[in-house]
Structure 1
């Protein structure tokens, strides 16, 4: 019988065990090559989030490094932590962020959701063109105020508080 005319097997039955006999049976298996370990702890050191200054109820946070799956939790927790220290409004400076993927966007949304509950808000400044494009494609440019730089973000905040 050829393969195309063979009747189908019943779902509960296993096929015959196939063994490869090309390797010598005696002796220990060769050791696998050792690769450098890439751990989550090392990732946290790759992303820095620091409070650069606090002015009134606004804190400017400078983010340095790539934001990806390994570092997204660090970004979210640091933003929430900064809001917990008092400032209602966070201006997040992205000028030193060369890369931000979907996990980074998710971390920003998660931080926004946690901060908004207590009346806080996040503005982004210095976002690179590729990242700005992602924000626009995903519609997150409507969730976060996006400014060309920190000075513009602070100026907008100053003008909105004096016009109230």
Structure 2
């Protein structure tokens, strides 16, 4: 019997278990930088890897690979806070390696975007996969978090905004 049905075929109104769609997981192309992995006592969890690809002046580029959820969002949140504290307020987050992102991950991104905005900066996403793009559409965050096809496009946008602001 279907667990979501009462005897007699009536629905309980509860939804089935949460399903995650996992596509082909490929690591984003990253340069040398600091890597922060989730886990404790030196044991990385298979969930999330965050690498600072570039950090120069106000611009910082992060490559994120894996799943961002309740258990791994602090890894991303910590990396973004550290960049903000170091004066990097134009943030580009390479999302091409993110296979899953829940509301906790979105909260970390919005908080970083808001902190950057306090200093005239912003957070931009690059290489967002269709599942995460849909999440941004459903949540309405596509209006807040700019999304670009790739890192190069996002960096170009950051530099063109900076040029307009400070000719």
Q: TM-score, normalised by structure 1?
A: 0.68
Q: How does 1:132-151 map to 2 (within 5 A)?
A: 132-151=133-152
Which one has a bigger Cα radius of gyration?
Answer: 1
Residues 36-47 of structure 1: matches in 2 within 5 Å?
41=40, 46-47=47-48
| Aligned counterparts of 1:120 and 1:150: Cα–Cα separation in 2 | 17
Identify if the C-alpha distance between structure 1 residues 116 and 159 changes in structure 2 by more than 3 Å, giving closer, same or farther: closer
Q: Which deviations, in whole Å up to 9, do the C-alpha atoms of 1:144-163 show, x marking residues without a partner?
A: 11101000001112222223
C-alpha offsets along residues 18-38 of structure 1, whole Å, 9 cap, x if unaligned?
Answer: xxxxxxxxxxxxxxxxxxxxx
* 5+ residue gaps, structure 1: 1-38
Gaps (5+ residues) in structure 2?
1-37
1:99 shift after superposition: 1.1
Question: Corresponding residue for 1:153?
Answer: 154
In the alignment, the residues of structure 2 paired with residue 159 and residue 59 of structure 1 have an alpha-carbon distance, to the nearest angstrom, of 15
In structure 2, distance between residues paired with 1:76 and 1:125: 17
> Shift in Å at residue 56 of structure 1?
3.8
Corresponding residue of 2:96 = 95
**How far, CA to CA, are the matches of 1:144 and 1:102 in structure 2?**
14
Match of 1:130 in 2: 131
The answer to whether the 8 Å contact 1:68/1:101 transfers is yes
Match of 1:64 in 2: 65
Quick one: distance in 1 between partners of 2:88 and 2:112? 14
Q: Deviations over 1:105-140 (max 9, x none)?
A: 122122223333344321111110110111011111
Q: CA deviation at 1:45?
A: 6.2
CA RMSD of aligned residues (A): 2.2
